[in-house]
Structure 1
Amino acid sequence: MRPFLYKPSLLNLAIGSCIAFSSLANAATVAAIPQLSEAKSSVLAKSCEGFSALLTANNTVIDSVETVAKGVLKLGDNEVEEHCLVRGKMHERIGEVDGKPYAIGFELRLPKKWNGRFYYQANGGLDGAVKTAEGALGGGPLTGALLQGFAVISSDAGHGKGLPTFGYDPQARLDYGYQAVAKLTPMAKTVIQQVYGKGPDRSYFAGCSNGGRHAMVAATRYANDYDGILVGAPGYRLPLAAVASIAGAQVYASVPNTDKKDLKTAFTLAERTTVSKAILAKCDALDGIKDGMIQDFKSCQTAFSIQTDVATCKADRDGTCLTQPQKDAVDTIYKGVTTSDGTRFYSSFPYDAGINDKDHMMWEYSAPLQRDSGAVAMIFNTPPVDLKDYSIRNFNGADFVWPSNIDDLVAGVNAVSGGYKESAMSFMAPPTPENMSTLRDNGGKIMVYHGVSDGIFSVQDTESWYNALNSANGGHADDFAQFYPVPGMGHCRGGQATDQFDMLMPLVAWVEKGQKPEQVIATARGEGNPGGVNDELPASWSANRTRPLCPYPSVATYDGKGDVESAKSFACEVPQSM
């Protein structure tokens, strides 16, 4: 039976606010937020090379300015128009601790036909590379900010390699965390002014994963510099998430007969697929249709129990059941790992159909030893671990992970010591993330999306942030902020999901025209998709299945009669239980 749902006029009804009071307060809040004007386009008449000797900015070296012809860059089948490519670096120096050279490398791409907007492309992982400043959007990108006429900057965030050894340099830590943005933003706007004869009318900041963390930081620290913030899978508490990843690996290693060199022996693909099927059996129909997608992920957490809905092995493991120690280990991780006194220090994770996706397994099994170990040891821990010659060759992730005391790691990401005057949770996290009053009062907007099957940053952590933001705004965060859980999607992309979408232009329309999004249409990347095929899509899906992504707390709900492969058959509605 399809659950009864209703469409309230205010999303904050789900938080339990009084209807009459909320309506009046919401009207007052909307009236207090200014409406920003629309950006105006401009055409660059001069050749790119003509600017080589003219571009200047403080603490900046311009290495090159060149023309990039139309079609040299493509997104999907779309050719990027002719533009100028400016390459350079800022704040060159020698590290006081490790004696290595540092600088903030960047590239800035400036369209000949400019739409009057600036886009800061925040990159993921440990940064350390100047990625192409195209501002690509969606799981398999068909469009991007540069293609749509934005001036786009990309940077390495202050270090030249994506290795955690930069964490021995105190300033490199701070640049990676937040200061590179503070230095690059005015430089980029100065160059834009010199090239077009005017600065950007509107400025946008976007990124996913660590880039989403950068975007959350920008929404708090640099709200006066940006009008719109687009946040994907925000690791806004990245140091704690990395420690939680290590703690999860330790839990998996505790399962009897687990090989520490191959953690998937704790919870195999076959066993994960059994659990995924059990989750779907309990939760797939909560949105009105069995279609291989769990739209109502919150209700699913109540409906499904790994303890009772998955068979307990009575003999040997064969992939169709879990032993009791396995169930307890998985439940410990998904409820949120804790310190020794039982305090959860990061977040719980939702049970979702994507528990058996390959990306999800990589984050749970490989990442703790191959990625998070180095980041925690050298960047987030204060002081960083001793390492001969500051060389990654002298570090072994397993030797760090297995003997580590989680209490000590949690303390380390909150500590300061000697020349490391800011803790990791200070330089990496947005200060008071529930306070975005400057962005709000300036007329700015923020849109956040997060895959429900993300295996490293929990969508429930982002949900907690949004609820705190909503509370801090008297139940009216949706006047300037929206949160979009993406059913089935893994970390930034992929999974059993419709993960191809453009959330930037809806953000622009909201910022500059006051057109608040009611939904964002997303497409599956099946056979023939020009942005790249998602090989984790179920064979039963249409190659181009569409779904509405819905602003929290609404969920995509089937209308009971339409084409199950079409977004037109679904509406964003708030479950009565909320």
Structure 2
Amino acid sequence: MGPTPKAGPTGAAREALLRQCETLAAGFHHDQTRIESATVQPAGALTLANAPVAEHCLVKGAMHKRKGSDGRDYAIGFEMRLPKAWNGRFYYQANGGLDGSVKTAEGALGGGPLTGALMQGFAVISSDAGHAGPQTPYFGLEPQSRLDYGYQAVAKLTPMAKALIATAYGKGPDRSYLGGCSNGGRHAMVEAARGQAYDGYLVGAPGYRLPNAALAQLWGAQQWAPLAVPGATTQHPLVPTARIPDLSGAFTKAERQLVADTMLGKCDALDGAKDGLVQATQACQTAFNLKTDVPTCKGERNGQCLSAAQKEVLARVSAGGRTPSGQAIYSAFPLDPGLAGDNWATWKFTNSVALDPLSVGTVFSVPPGMFDPLKVDIHARLPMFSATSDVYRESGLSLMTPPGNENPVNLAKLKDRGAKMVIYHGVADAIFSAEDTRQWLLRLDQALGGKADSFARFFPVPGMAHCSGGPSTDQFDLLSPLVKWVEQGEAPQAVKATARGAGNPGGENKELPSSWAANLSRPLCAYPTVATYKGSGPVEDASSFACR
């Protein structure tokens, strides 16, 4: 073993041409791996934002095929796309939700993407994380499938993918990157702590404490339920024939818009420009007072006020929730005008009673078991995340969260060899809290002796909902700045982000205010700096703002 390399740029990747494609199906061999097909995809066979993706090789396969303890067939399904003209880099596309499907390995980035890792010349892999089928959590009843979903699929796929690249191009990747949003962001953070097999990590809205966040959603649903329309139901988002409680009447669209407008009135100008965006998130948490700034209903609710009970529940839910004994369930959530958006309501009022009970009951708990989300004892569920048994030998928290989460000093080794991490998070995310991500960064900074910004940069996205959407500039490419940081030593401070108005090739964001320019842009600023208006120049343009 030689000396530990000092932190710094690791050097640029070297380009190469694809040497073989169809022959990979029979010619590539790796332990527990079967290549099912390898086919040339001509330029334009795949498009992204109406632009053709260059010629590449599509490889489909599976690893570790087995019969599960539940009698079902399991495997880690994957696809890899290998560009004919390769930039020398590998990108692991970590997918979101409960995985379960092999998404197109395009390495999509930010909101409605205009580019992606594949389009930029990366070799890209995508997988189902060890179980196939729709977004159902019943794989969580099978112990090994739980582990694959938690962290083992990434650990198994990574060396195989690098070996496949070496076979296809005659050399392995010079630089490797892992990125994803939501559960994909969690995958990235977990690998950074466990495997440390990558040079750069692009971490979006990381559900790195996914069990706690899901339980907080259940707790929140129980808080909202008494304020909802009695007996109201709505269609289950995954099962068309099933009905679930409809909690949306507890905090209607008009009432959420009232809170958003009041917040804008108090906080919009804190960044120097009244533009419908609250850039100064931390300052706004102090400047805005839910109890006194929003009118309190003196009679019936009419959309122009909140009842005292509504204010109390919103404040409690935003604080993250506690058990009856006072134990924190999850993190506080920053208040942001993006709470008026439909995505915020979907997570709080629909997914909290449709999806979170399934993941909590079958993937994160020992022993597993289903329950009524509006009646379950939250206090009793929390210890089940840390429990183990003869069947489930690793707890839900252990398999889902990064080791050393409370004191991430173990990332010092990753930092010392020059690896980098870029993190982004929508401030209006309703399921995984941007404040939780901020607190993790502060812990990292303390663990690294105040030097976290030499390794990790956090870019809050004001107004953005979960991974995209909301009244926000949610179209951006943070992979290119990450590559430049890893390979050239240039740390990102301000990255341009654009709104997706009418005609945007990446798809229109229907939640943009009508007053916004279709291509309004802002700099995403590395925390703790804030996008601040310079005092002159068009307010629609990012160049009129500086990160201060």
| Superposed structure 1 runs of 4+ greater than 4 Å apart | 256-260
1:253, 1:259 within 8 Å by CA — same for their partners in 2? no
2:162 is the counterpart of 1:189: yes
For residue 12 of structure 2, what is the amino acid of its counterpart? Answer: E
User: C-alpha displacement at 1:448, in angstroms?
Assistant: 0.1
Alignment of structure 1 residues 285-434 onto 2, 5 Å: 285-385=269-369, 400-433=372-405, 434=408
The 3-state SS of whatever aligns with 2:100 is coil
**CA drift at 1:51:** 2.7
Q: 1:543 aligns with which of 513, 518, 521?
A: 518
Q: Which residue of 1 aligns with 2:237?
A: none
Give 1:277's aligned residue.
Answer: 261
Tell me how far 1:400 sits from its aligned partner.
2.0
Which residue in 2 is equivalent to 1:234?
A: 206
| Residues 1:147 and 1:300: Cα distance change in structure 2 (over 3 Å) | same
Asked if 1:62 corresponds to 2:35, the answer is yes
Aligned-pair CA distance for 1:176: 0.1
Q: In 2, are the aligned partners of 1:255 and 1:329 still within 8 Å (CA)?
A: no
**Residue 247 of structure 1 aligns with which residue?**
219
Structure 2 contact 106–118 (Cα < 8 Å) conserved:
yes
Match of 1:42 in 2: 16
- Separation (CA, whole Å) in 2 of partners of 1:368 and 1:202: 39
- Whether contact under 8 Å (1:82, 1:112) holds in the other structure is yes
Letter in 2 for 1:373: P
Superposition deviation, residue 259 in structure 1: 4.6
Asked if structure 2 preserves the Cα contact closer than 8 Å seen for 1:219 and 1:439, the reply is yes
* Counterpart selection for 2:540 from 565, 573, 577: 565
SS in 2 for 1:49: coil
What do residues 459-504 of structure 1 show as CA deviations (whole Å, max 9, x unaligned)?
Answer: 0000000000011111110001100000100000000000000000
> How much has 1:32 moved relative to structure 2?
4.0
User: Is 1:262 aligned to 2:251, yes or no?
Assistant: no
Among 456, 463, 484, the alignment partner of 1:481 is 456
Query: Does the CA contact (< 8 Å) of 2:421 and 2:482 recur in 1?
Result: yes
Partner of 2:235: none
Picking from 114, 119, 122, the partner of 1:147 is: 119
SS in 2 for 1:136: coil
2:183 matched to which residue of 1?
210
Does structure 1 conserve the Cα–Cα contact (< 8 Å) formed by 2:8 and 2:489?
no
**Which runs of structure 2 are paired with 1:150-189 in the superposition (5 Å)?**
150-161=122-133, 162-189=135-162
Shift of 1:306: 1.1
CA distance in 1, matches of 2:380, 2:78: 36
Which of 460, 466, 471 is matched with 2:446 structurally?
Answer: 471
Equivalent-residue separation in structure 1 for 2:190 and 2:437 (angstroms): 14
Match of 1:92 in 2: 65
What letter matches 2:194 in structure 1? R
Contact 1:259 1:265 in 2 (8 A): no
User: SS of 1:280's equivalent?
Assistant: helix
Q: Does 2:493 correspond to 1:521? A: no
* Paired residues of 2:469 and 2:509 also in contact (CA < 8 A): yes
TM-fit CA distance, 1:219: 1.1
In structure 2, relative to structure 1, the CA distance for the partners of 1:568 and 1:283 (3 Å cut) is same
2:110 corresponds to which of 138, 147, 160: 138
Please list the CA deviations of residues 22-62 of structure 1 after superposition, one character each: whole Å capped at 9, or x if unmatched.
xxxxxxxxx9414301100001244x213332111110011
How far apart, CA to CA, are the structure 2 residues paired with 1:330 and 1:414?
Answer: 29
Q: CA deviation at 1:298?
A: 0.5
CA offset at residue 409 of structure 1? 1.6
C-alpha deviation, 1:561, in angstroms: 1.2
Question: Deviation digits for residues 353-385 of structure 1, max 9, x if unmatched?
Answer: 011100000000001111111000110111111
Which amino acid in 2 is paired with 1:535? K
Give the aligned residue type for 1:50: T
CA separation in 1, counterparts of 2:387 and 2:376?
16
The one-character-per-residue Cα deviations of 1:154-195 (angstroms, maximum 9, x if unpaired) are: 000000123100001000000000000110001111111111
Q: Take 2:395 and 2:485, find their aligned partners in 1: how far apart are those partners?
A: 36
Query: Residue 316 of structure 2: SS of its match in structure 1?
Result: helix
Q: Is the 8 A contact 2:111 2:474 kept in 1?
A: yes
**Alpha-carbon offset, residue 438 of structure 1:** 2.0
CA contact (8 A) 2:19 2:168 kept: no
Segment drifting more, 279-288 vs 427-436: 427-436
Separation of aligned partners in 2, 1:404 and 1:64: 47
Deviation of the 1:99 alpha carbon: 1.0
The answer to whether the 8 A contact 1:259-1:266 is kept is no
Question: Which one-letter code corresponds to 2:189 in the other structure?
Answer: M
Determine which of 107, 110, 115 is the counterpart of 2:82.
Answer: 110
Q: TM-score, normalised by structure 1?
A: 0.90
Pairwise CA distance, 1:228: 0.2
Give distance in 2, aligned partners of 1:32 and 1:196. 29
Task: State the 1:257 CA deviation.
Answer: 5.3
1:102-160 alpha-carbon deviations (Å, 9 max, x no partner) = 00000011111000000000000000000000001110011000000000000000001
Deviation at 1:451, TM superposition (A): 0.2
CA distance in 2 between counterparts of 1:88 and 1:264 reads: 43
Structure 2 residue matching 1:241: 3-state secondary structure: helix
Instruction: Tell me which residue corresponds to 1:5.
Output: none
In 1, the alpha carbon distance for the partners of 2:11 and 2:308 equals 60
- Output the CA distance in 1 between the equivalents of 2:295 and 2:498: 35
| Cα displacement (A) at 1:517 | 1.1
Gaps of 5+ in 2: 233-244
Number of equivalenced pairs: 528
- The 2-side partners of 1:259 and 1:555 are apart by 45
Give the whole-Å Cα distance in 2 for the aligned partners of 1:61 and 1:220. 29
